[in-house]
Structure 1
Amino acid sequence: MIKFFSVLCLVLLFSFNTVNAQNFSTHQVKKGETIEGIAKRYYVTPFDIYSLNPDAKKGLKPNTVLIIPISKANKPKVSIVKELQGFKNHRTKKKETLYSLSKLYNVSEDDIKKYNKFLYANPLRKGDKLQIPRFKTTEVVEENTATKTYIVLPKEGKWRIAYKFGITLEELELLNPEMGDVLKEGQEINVPNLDDTEEKVVDEQYSYYKVLPKEGFYRLKLKLGLEQSQLEALNPDLKETGLKKGMILKIPYSNLANGIIEVDSSRINLADSIADFSSKHIAVMLPFRLSRVDFDSVADTKRSIKNDPYLNASLDFHSGVLIAIDSLKKLGISLKVDVYDTKRQESEVARIIADNNFEDVNAVIGPLTSLSFDKAASELRQYHVPIISPIGTNLKLYDNVFQSRPSDDLLKSKIINYVRTDTLVKHIIAISDTKNREVANSIKREFNFASLIESRKDKETGKDAYYVSVDDIKDVLKPGANIVFLETENSGFVSNVTSVLASLIQEENKEENLEAIDIILVTTNKNAAFEGDEVSNEHLSKLQFHFASSTKAYNETDNNTFVKNYSRLYDITPNKWAVKGFDLTMDVVLRLVSSEDLYASVNNAQLTEYVENKFAYKKKLYGGYYNDTVYLVKYDDLAIVEVKQ
């Protein structure tokens, strides 16, 4: 019994090794092909194909990719090429048939008909004069090109490549049994040999879904809220291939967890990538303007801080920097930090750089104000010292400048692309005041079917009255999903429009023959008007208010280490300035210790994220670096949450 068990284990071991060592090829099904024909082409049996492609038993559909055992598929495909050499004359005798003549002269019946066209309409008769073609036959060996070698690109994981080449994750793994769990940039793998035009592109504006076992269109409708026709519109191959376990589907933005694939899989935790523990030197420039502070009494000092917005912001930002420095030291990073008061004066910035040695400084954070920042960047160019702007957006992008705050254009394009990719939207409306008329017109140019509504005018003065009526909006709403852009900097107008929109949301009522009307509110410019005291957060939540943002608010219930440490040290929760100081300092220093320098980190750390901010720098062709990533967020149950993409 023991010997039997040992032998059985060996058999299983060798069988397992054989299966894992075996490679596979692929075949993309074309219209009219059969399993038998494909099996014959690759010198395998239909059973071989069915064993690796169980769904094929339900029938072959065009564009389906089949897995073929390469040990057999590698046999060359041999085709016969016939070259006409001439004809032999033949007079038909009694009882001769096309079949007997084809055997006699070793040609096909179709070849005989081809050169004796009267046989297409008439039967063969005794005495018919025929031309029998004589061919020279040549065997041509065709190279098997069912698969090709593919070099993995940056940010590419298994699901991206499976989607790109129209196969399931399991099929990709069958083609590459030794590729490992995580793909590396530059790794060579086998993929179906598709034309470049047939390869799909992963669009960052969509979500992607991995089909689970036994999931059909009905289950996907319940889970994703998408009809079969909507899925097929986003994934045209579905009409022909049908659903398969493990296939990747493109879907609109989704917050679902089960099955949704994280598109932004390139995010890097630099704390796990520290490679350089040598001491780093950074400088922080902030407009404290300490010379203006009245230190005669505690009350006077407090009053000075309260009345000076630059001092206020600088102190909060610096408090976040200090927490970051402490966190970095706990990671074993040695850091020298110089802090300078720029006094919000360009001349002071020039003096600081002239009087101190910046040649050995690895990076400078700040100043906060644009003019002071431009002066510092210009002066530091001679040392090629990278300088990072915490808040500026319209900067002179010298080759040493890092603009950490995303541009307004990027914020606008983010929300525009979100709306453009939502296939469920029935109608788009742009509501604006007079000042933002051109913004509304630009939305109309993006969506030529959109309706425009402008705030009403005061009848006496002709000036903008900053309101719309219920009928103004009701007349253009359509049953189903409506997206409404609201473009204004007037808080009263926001209050008026959101109140009207919230009242017009309608649930389906079959008894009263009422169709559902859904409304989602968006804006290309989220500003202080949307946070006014008169604006109802309940209305914003009911309207699922969506907007693009350079930051996302942290959740105090998330047990965030930074928030805990900050609250314990300062006895207050951190505001946006403190969080920015922490996030930016952490990112700059971790980039320095995980790459050769800050410039090299742009390629090595393509996307990083901290408490409220994420950074993905790109370089201008002739200039510096800008942050090319933003958040898409929405109001949800009186909270602001990130919309997963």
Structure 2
Amino acid sequence: MKKAYFVLILFLVSFINFAQTKHTVTKGETLYSISKKYNVSTEDILKANPEVKNGVQENSILTIPKAAIIDSSTPNKHIIQPKDTKYSVSKKYGISIEELEKLNPEIGTEFEIGSEIRLKKGVVLSLPKSVKNIVSSENIISHKVEAKETLYSISKMYNISIEEIIAKNPIAKDGLAEGWFLILPKKSSIGTIKDSIILKKEKVNLLETVNKTKKRNLVLLMPFNINRIEKDSSKTKIEYLKTDKFLNITLDFYAGALKAIDSAKVLGLPFNAKVYDTESSKYSSNVATIIKNNDFSNVDVVIGPFTNSFVELAGQLVDKKTAVISPLTNDVGVGGSNVFYAMPNETIQKEKLMAYLQAKSDAIFAIHSSSKSKLSTYFSTNYPEVKSFYFNEKGIFDYATLKSNLQKGKKNFVILDSDKIIQVLSVVNNLLKLKKEFDIQLVVIERNDALDFEEIPSKNLAALQMLYPSAIRENETSEALLFAKAYKKDNKVQPNQYATRGFDVTFDAILRMCQEEGFLKSAETQISEQIESQFNYINNTNNGVYMMYYNSDLTIKQAQ
């Protein structure tokens, strides 16, 4: 009896030890990576260690709760999951990246989602690697996500709904990443995989495939507000031009659009173009009246109006056969299947940026103006592998802690999340010092006024090769120079961003509506590029985003 009691005591002691353990944070570890190592949620770790709410520090000791302490013995194999990297896998199983590469010499710089890798010597892998598309005997398809593919494009490729894809792959509900493997239900109507791949979207020169035998019709809805200006005796037209920023944007866009129309006519494209003044104010417009009093039954494309509420109204055009393009707004509305947003929105630009960074390195850090930063929440929800740091309440930042997490031998991306001049200046100056020891590239989600502050020279941003996502690119090709020269000849000034935008949106719309299949089908299957903009409509929203950076010669270049 005493022996049994003694055994029970030993069991209870071992259980208590098992139910809670201590973990010493090593360099490069994050709350997320530690949670994965011990198979416990980040929330449970935070409850047990409230002091790490702003991030874990190297050499600090964490209490790991009893939820799921895992067996310390290393398994033989690991199946690659979305967002796995060599670094995260090596940390999870306590082996070095070099050892991981020796065990798996066939792996390249990136993992293939769904493939197996060895964690011990002599292990035979059972799953096929480097598989593009596999048709299984279980009436399902395994599809590897290629660059720029989306749920929408894949659903069209295989003739299945987006809901069916998400049902089989719940992780896809927040978007896709290149290299993922999706399990798709096989439909008898899709034919062969080879036939389906023909439907993939590709970048094309739309000018080479225009149909010049069929007349098309284009309408521009421009908020000139001519009647209001004419009736307003308190201001002259010159005063309006000096003070009304929205009117200036409209006129610049329109000047670019006219140049696109002229260029298309010179090229012999068969179309008619009409322009209507929408007389828009903040709360009203005459778009409904224009549609009611004019025949839009044969209109192929409408560009405008400029605000979401009126875009939705224009989207009620006949049988949804007329494409309606919102040229400048990037907040997607609910206009319908025929309403297209030509400006990539903020979410798309962030997703494209993060995909680019993850493809280049797993050493991604963020410096936030405060712990309540909106971007900090976005990272913790969608990209928990990004290690975030914060300025404290007194506006002080601990660069020593950042330095202890930077990694030698690889690119360190540091995302700056602040528009406060003093913080931007501090980060830029200190990153320049750290760059003497580490390969560092500064990243911003968007360019803000603080970056143009006179005490932050462009040469410093160039030294850090500041990277950012952009809806436009710098273009010095002969075509771009010819456009600028022709525009200046007509308007006596160089084209600004709105004028070039007007040309790009209008010229692209004309080329697409002059395709054999028309604008709607072209937008679904083809990617195009004009002077400054790329047009890649996915779910009717333009996903054409460039990665731009400050080059050492103080010019802005497109990242490869």
C-alpha contact (below 8 Å) 1:281/1:361 kept by paired residues: yes
Instruction: Report deviation, 1:561.
Output: 2.2
Letter matched to residue 543 of structure 1: L
Which residue of 478, 485, 495 maps to 1:564?
A: 485
Map 1:159-558 onto structure 2 (within 5 A): 201=144, 203-204=146-147, 266-293=202-229, 300-345=236-281, 346-378=284-316, 380=317, 382=319, 384-393=321-330, 394-423=332-361, 425=362, 427-434=363-370, 437-444=373-380, 448=384, 450-458=386-394, 465=395, 468=397, 470-471=399-400, 473-480=402-409, 481-506=411-436, 516-555=437-476
C-alpha contact (below 8 Å) 1:359/1:383 kept by paired residues: no
3-state DSSP class of the match of 2:522? Answer: helix
C-alpha contact (below 8 Å) 1:384/1:400 kept by paired residues: yes
| 2:531 is equivalent to residue 611 of structure 1 | yes
| 2:549 is equivalent to residue 634 of structure 1 | yes
Instruction: Report deviation, 1:521.
Output: 1.3
Equivalent in the alignment of 2:193: none
TM-score (norm 1): 0.53
Instruction: Report deviation, 1:550.
Output: 1.6
Letter matched to residue 486 of structure 2: N
Write out per-residue CA displacement over residues 212-260 of structure 1, whole angstroms, 9 at most, x where no aligned residue.
xxxxxxxxxxxxxxxxxxxxxx99xxxxxxxxxxxxxxxxxxxxxxxxx
Shift in alpha-carbon separation, 1:579–1:492, aligned structure 2, 3 A: farther
Shift in alpha-carbon separation, 1:306–1:471, aligned structure 2, 3 A: farther
Q: Which has the higher contact order (CA 8 A, sep 6+)?
A: 2
Quote the Cα distance in structure 1 between the aligned partners of 2:376 and 2:251. 39
| 2:512 is equivalent to residue 591 of structure 1 | yes
Quote the Cα distance in structure 2 between the aligned partners of 1:595 and 1:556. 28
Shift in alpha-carbon separation, 1:203–1:359, aligned structure 2, 3 A: closer
Instruction: Report deviation, 1:382.
Output: 4.9
Quote the Cα distance in structure 2 between the aligned partners of 1:532 and 1:377. 42
Quote the Cα distance in structure 2 between the aligned partners of 1:288 and 1:324. 19
Instruction: Report deviation, 1:612.
Output: 0.7
Instruction: Report deviation, 1:552.
Output: 1.2
Instruction: Report deviation, 1:441.
Output: 4.1
Shift in alpha-carbon separation, 1:492–1:283, aligned structure 2, 3 A: farther
3-state DSSP class of the match of 1:595? Answer: coil
TM-score (norm 2): 0.60
Letter matched to residue 408 of structure 2: P
C-alpha contact (below 8 Å) 1:469/1:500 kept by paired residues: no
Letter matched to residue 613 of structure 1: S
3-state DSSP class of the match of 2:322? Answer: coil
CA-based RMSD of the aligned residues comes to 3.7
Quote the Cα distance in structure 1 between the aligned partners of 2:348 and 2:287. 30
For the pair shown, which has the larger CA radius of gyration, 1 or 2?
1
C-alpha contact (below 8 Å) 1:566/1:572 kept by paired residues: yes
Shift in alpha-carbon separation, 1:367–1:559, aligned structure 2, 3 A: closer
C-alpha contact (below 8 Å) 2:370/2:393 kept by paired residues: no
C-alpha contact (below 8 Å) 2:328/2:343 kept by paired residues: yes
Give the length in aligned residue pairs. Answer: 379
Which runs of 5 or more residues in structure 1 are unaligned? 1-61, 64-162, 167-190, 207-233, 236-263, 459-464, 507-515, 620-624
Quote the Cα distance in structure 1 between the aligned partners of 2:479 and 2:426. 34
C-alpha contact (below 8 Å) 1:287/1:343 kept by paired residues: yes
Equivalent in the alignment of 2:498: 577
Letter matched to residue 376 of structure 1: A
Equivalent in the alignment of 2:559: 643
Which runs of 5 or more residues in structure 2 are unaligned? 1-104, 107-128, 150-177, 180-199
C-alpha contact (below 8 Å) 1:491/1:534 kept by paired residues: no
Shift in alpha-carbon separation, 1:449–1:396, aligned structure 2, 3 A: closer
Letter matched to residue 389 of structure 1: S
Instruction: Report deviation, 1:628.
Output: 2.6
Name which of structure 1's ranges 286-295 and 493-502 shifts more when overlaid on structure 2: 286-295
